Structure 1
Amino acid sequence: MERASGAASELRIGGGLPLSAYDADLAARRSSELAERAAETGCDRLADWLRSARVDARLAAVWSLSPHLFSIAHAHPDWLQQLFDEDAGARVEAIIAGLAVPVMDGASEAEVMTQLRRAKAEASLLVALRDLLGAATPDRTCRDLSALAQAAVGHAIRFLALDLDRRGALQLPDRADPERGLGLFALGMGKLGGAELNYSSDIDLILFFDPDAPAVMDPADSVETFGKLARRLVRMIGERTREGYVFRTDLRLRPDPSAMPLAIPLPAALVYYEGSGRDWERAAMIKARVVAGDREAGAAFLQEITPFVWRRYLDFVAIRDIRNMKARIDQHRGFTGIEVAGHNLKLGRGGIREIEFFAQAQQLIAGGRAPRLRTRRTDEALEQLAASDWIDAEVAAEMTRAYWFLRRAEHAVQMIADEQTHTLPDSADALETVARLCNQPDAAHFASALTGHLERVERRFSALFADGRDDDATDTFGDDDATRERLAALGYRRPADMARILGGWTEGRLRATRSEAAREPLGRVLPRLLQSFAAAPDPDSALAEFDRFLAGLPAGLQFFSLIASNPRLLDLLTLIVTSAPELGRTITARPHVFDALLEPAFFRDVPGADARRRQLAVFLAEATSLEERLVRLRIFASEGRFLIGVRLLSGAIEGPAAGEAFTTLAEVVIEAVLDAVLTEFMKAHGEVAGGRVAVLGLGRLGSRELTASSDVDLMLLYDHDEGAEESDGPRPLPVSTYYMRLTQRLIAALSAPMAEGLLYAVDFRLRPSGNKGPLATHIDAFRRYQAEAWTWERMALTRSHPVAGNEALQVDIVAAIRETIAAHRDDPLLSDDVADMRARLDVQKPARGLLDLKRLPGGLTDLEFLAQWAILTGRAPLEAVGRPTGEVLRHLRPEDRAGLALEPSDAMERLTRLVQLLRLGTGTANRVADLPLGLARRIASSLDLAEPAAIETEVADTARGVREMFSALLPFDPKLG
């Protein structure tokens, strides 16, 4: 129900709630700036009103309290001026309705993205103003935001469906209504499903499709077709552009996100929920609602999974599961009591999550037998629980009042800077800002009201979840006959030895398991853990490896609580320990790195170079010496590689994206190391007149294809003023000695072992003259050498780009490399040299198995040589130097590929997926049989194969096609190598 809307001003916003500025001067200044902006943009009516005595002072307070809202109003004063003639609530409805109209004919994806972002920005401004001034209740605000999100998703899906129809990938039965018969539908989950979105919410979606829908032309291609649609949808809605973003979009609530595609076929989804669905997924499905796409297919699906969500019997197990879930949240996040400053309104004690869990647990208990409890919204669930005598009406009213107070405060926190945060600020001034945005006179009044609500919620929540009589006994394992029998039944070959290991855990002989508090969550995960290890090719070795991992943990409570709270993380941990030992060692050394896996954006976003630099700058800020900087750089790089590896292992990213991510991390680290070494070096030896230095990356670093275990191939080049002979520091050095020693320092800084490990193994052998040449090379000497260099040296240059150092020198290096390549383009022996080199490698370094992808005939080396040959011969442009191999191969001419079934860039894509995953392992597996089962399954999934057994066939077929192409373009006799 709307609040009374006494006209607050001539702007038709409505609402009569008080709102006062905390900084009156800032409010006046912002109001004046907005008036000036309005005048500049021709919004004279607004400008005059803002300068008049009639202006509503509460709007000036808004601008001072919320930089986000002020920035929107300042950018688009016309959106405010139109409110003289149109009610803000009506305008919000019109914006939402505008997204429901048919997609414009001929509109591009970029145009639609801009349209959606402008609609979101305008609606966000108006929704916030109505909320803050009291023209809309928090309930109405949530509904408007949810309706906006639903309309945006629907608009994007209609555009994408029409686009795929035009491209011939779909055949829509009705282009005027693209969603009808499409087969694909989007389930809104969480707060979107319940029409309860926060002001700065993510939207949780699950995309399903019916492969037999009328629009589907070929069911066999439907996973790929709708997967592409899903990726484009996430980009259209979630990508931040100059116009902002629409809604951050999260697809991770789908079944088994590490294995399932982004858009899931209904048959696979039903099999999953019927056979593997978990209690948290039951709880999540309470709020599921079809928000876009084929609504008929969506309604049928929700009906079909009703038995999974709503059990026929009274399900008191839900009480235990949800209690444990909340306890784990408290343990992991460190919530120990009720505070105001720094309190998490969503997850903290007495917060929104406790209200939601309070309702959902009882819905799951009784919803199977009481359909009226099957409501999506939290406030409606509380109402129905009271109406069904599950809770007292007073309790329902109390929890509902608290819910909307907390949601209102949550909106206020998020409106300040449009941040997805639920945590109240720590500082007094910032708390005053939140209090004013909540229409409170000051922080003291806000704190008093908030604390009262939090305490009442915690009391009701604790009363519901306090009784532990429904607990199942935790499985116990130790050094006893019963454990040995169970281990033997699971397939362990040395059950007596394994039982002794388990006894060490459960009896507290490890540091990580000494406390009872740590052993309790460990006990909950042990059965699943042992089953996971039992699936490995060598269960005993897997368990022993995990024992070594546990022995290295300094403490266990937080870590075990974390993995006990998330089965997916437990599976991932098992896979890491048994399949990716280097990742496991990182967790052992720094268990807190696992916390990052709980960050909302972790599996969705991979930090780019700028984000990495910002992270590193913060991490290095307190380092006061070179040694301390190098220690911190090792930690930063190790944790960065771990998190990329986890993303890769979990399926959040695939091979090429992993190569880009590993390379970006290395570049940022090398850049920081060079800066640190150079700064320290100049303290002793000064500078060379006009001196410039830059680092060139070669090999996998140079082509942006690093793996988890790659060395970095580097070359240091320098330049200086003509006539410079020595440096000018306290201990001057001749120029050549200066740069040689600087290079030695750089190599040591990167590769010297420290307690935290080494940064990167470094290889400088690709420099001019190899190991015989000087470590550092003058740019002019580099040009002269490359003018007469061997073909293989020019091949190496095709996989290079500068990674650190003086920007002007980097430009010169790129120009020199391109000049070198262009000058030798017509070399008559070039193709023969490339073919001869490949023939020699076939003989001198034969493959050790089908998974020895570098040496394998038709493997990575063939594709890399083809790409290098393409650049050297001009088939690929000079701009392709330093680009990934697959990207370069796309430049091969159609006549080069004539008569060949294999697309070389596709082959490179598949082999890259494979090699990136293989490099997470021990590095010694040359056959699928040598791989840990979990890693083999992940590789099969990455290659879209049903079973690991198909991997070697896939590799052999791909290699055969690549070798045929190589032989056709660069004929050679491998026996003559």
Structure 2
Amino acid sequence: MLSQLIKKLPPLIQPCAALNVEKCSGSLEPLSDSETGLQQALIRVLAGSDYVADQLSRHPRLLNDLSDSGDLFSAYPANAYQQRLERRLAGVDSEEQLHSVLRQFRQREMVRIIWRDLTRTTDMRGTTADLSALADACIDQALTWLYNDCCSKWGTPHSTPSEGSPAQPQKLVVLGMGKLGAYELNLSSDIDLIFAYPEKGMTEGGRRVLANQDFFSRLGQKLIQALDSITADGFVFRTDMRLRPYGASGPLVCSFPAMEEYYQNQGRDWERYAMIKARVVGGDQCAGAELLQMLRPFVYRKYIDFSAFDSLRSMKEMINKEVRRKGLHGNVKLGAGGIREVEFVAQAFQLIRGGRDPRLQQRELLNILPLLPETVGIPETAANELIEAYTFLRNTEHAIQAVADRQTQELPIDQVGQARIAYSMGFDRWDSFLVELERQRDRVTRHFADVIAPTEAAPHNAAQASDWLQLWNSEFDEEEGESFFARHGLDDPQQAWKAFNNLKTSRSVQVMQAVGYQRLQAVLPKLMDEVVAVDNSAETLEWVLLLIQAVIRRSSYLVLLAENPGAMRQLVRLCSASAWFSETLARQPVLLDELIDQRSLYSPPSKEALQSDLRQQLLRIPQEDEEQLMDTLRYFKSAHVLIVAASDITGVLPLMKVSDYLTWLAEVILEEVLEIAWRQLTEKHGVPLKASGVPCDPDFIIVGYGKLGGIELSYGSDLDLVFVHDADASLFTPGHKPIANSVFFTRLGQKIIHILNTFTTGGHLYEVDMRLRPSGNSGLLVSSLKAFSEYQQKEAWTWEHQALVRARVIAGSESLRERFEQVRAEILSQPREQGELTGEVVKMREKMREHLGTAEKDAQALFNLKQDRGGIVDIEFIVQYSALAYSHRYPQLIEYTDNIRILDAMEQVGVIPADDAETLREAYKKYRSVGHRQVLQNRSGPVSPDELEDCREAVIRIWNSQLNC
């Protein structure tokens, strides 16, 4: 039967398969005709693997054992390798016997793994997962046996005791690097390991006393011998220790503090790349997790780190030189379009963005590639093609290594070898396989070039670049510098030279390291070409160079601009239009990343999209990590404000939409801040009770006043907030640390303010103003709805009712929202004596003008947009006055909280003529538009009254008409 199956193989393979069948036939028990499937699988495996043939010839019962147990045909459950090897090692009493058992175990399992791979009983990921789990088991079980044996000889290692901290037992931590760390081991991988232990100390309880360093060094040497030494039974895994600190010249084992110090002070770029895949594969898992957490800042930077591109290019160029030197063009790992290029694409983005996006902090490449379209914006087709190519290349690698269990990725050059690989890969002929291989490699080469290869510079005049560098590197005096800028078309040469020279002579530039200085010189000519192309070139240069100076100490941001000419162009364009934009980026250069994707830069998301995006970001952060939660909220806010500003500056969004987006952003953030604060307090104290036995839902609301309530936020607006609850203040929370409801809700309010106000490296979220709460600063931080209602009914001033016109619930309990709106409507719709109301409103307005408006002596030359007569506050007071005076007859006047829609309602019910309503709407929008422009240009204070004279006079006329003044 087997001979008949051999004849069905491609002709070139038949002799090879026949030889392998003959080699092991004397050791195989006859297979019955009913085992046709097993016979066919056997021929396929023997055609593809001399190693399996050798093992079957040496171990007569091996195939029947694997078949009868079902191991050939089913996947192992989790920890199966660990449990099986643990049982085999239970009776081992010498290192020699340990070595033998480990190797025999490895041989059996390798036959199973190769069989399942070549017969496609499992897929590529199943093969790599099995190989990695096998290696984990061999490392960990061998280490456990050797640790116990060493402790019996030399005692158990302990930490050094200190006051209040007795000596603790120490164990070795084994980090698996590379493919082992990422669960991607191939059929003949070596394993890259790093050994570490928690802290210095001495052994206790043994015949001899050793320092922990000596103990773990000896243990590490024994572990390497157990895995790597070649005996009559072969080896377990070739073991490479060169990735440890200081490489081959460094100590075999390091303490955790020594590891941290090394990577912090001396870690190189390629070590960051390697550490992405580090995983604890043996020893103390808990201590190992602490070690990886200590090293995480070395691997994943909190800022966007485009310098990874440079380092990966350098690594790739070194590989290319090695490929050329050794003639490795047929190498499916290192050659063009090979496995390593796919890995570089994924890991480049992990290094660049992993610090900001925890989703990218994974080890396995096939978990990372599907995330790239969403996380970094590469096309989905590119990600899918890379996944397909990687899978094909890894299957090819396995087919090559299955032949003889040799560590090679070289395509065979002999016809028989080529035919065997093609057959194992499912192709009839080598030529057919080669066509598909080249197709996949071409895809990888193209995508690798798109991501990693040097960017094509934008059309650039070499002479012009040389000019800019000459200016930078020369000792020009003021006159020469200004003359240079005049020749190159700067609109204000004096201002341009001053800005340029300030950067050049700054302390930051003088102390730059060589790498950073080279990056600055690479960026400057391109940046200058963009600057001279704008109208206000000198002013733009000043603003852009302020940003450059702010990022000099983290020159990876310079790489970001060099790698993304489009981002540099957008930076100059936006800084040209807005000084606020450049100053915002200078304070938070991490936001430069937002300039890369122009699709999102000029397309602010809807409120629903904002909610979804923020929720997804927060879900990836441990709930107990308040610092990271706060940093994420701050970055989210800053990034979206930047996006709105970019759309505003370029005219993509009209004024009203800008305020809508900024208000939605605040609403979304407040919703999440309330949820975070509520969760933290309820975990500690339990959920407060609304009534006896009835938990709150949370029966707490955040009420927005002013610009937030009126959906009119601008850049940098603070938030006028009031907190209201509706629970029995005398009841207590039912948690482990019960507190009174009144205390709970006060702490809830304090926690919300803390999250919003606290200044971190990302700045603060919002300034919070609580002065509009009942009784102002002297009142309770959080009021019950009943107390709020009574205060508004009995004690509130007219101006507080005016403020209530713009009040609306931003976040919290839906049922309490409805009850609050009822209270608001009742208060605002009370009939009022019109003469008295008019007097109160006019009196308050005059008082504000006196204290906040332009001084009388300056009134002819300056106009305070907000506070002067005929300004924004006059329009707001007209609206609020009308709502208080007429809402008892026209409830439409208090249905909305924004001025424009209230003006619409005033026009509809007839309390203001249509022409006057339109005049106020247009004046209000124009004032706010001018105010926005002032913010974006970093200008504050009054404006010239001339350009707004018509609006101002019209508002004054309507004020006098409406309030009978």
Normalised to the residue count of structure 1, the TM-score between the two structures is 0.49
Question: Which protein shows a greater Rg?
Answer: 2
Normalised to the residue count of structure 2, the TM-score between the two structures is 0.49
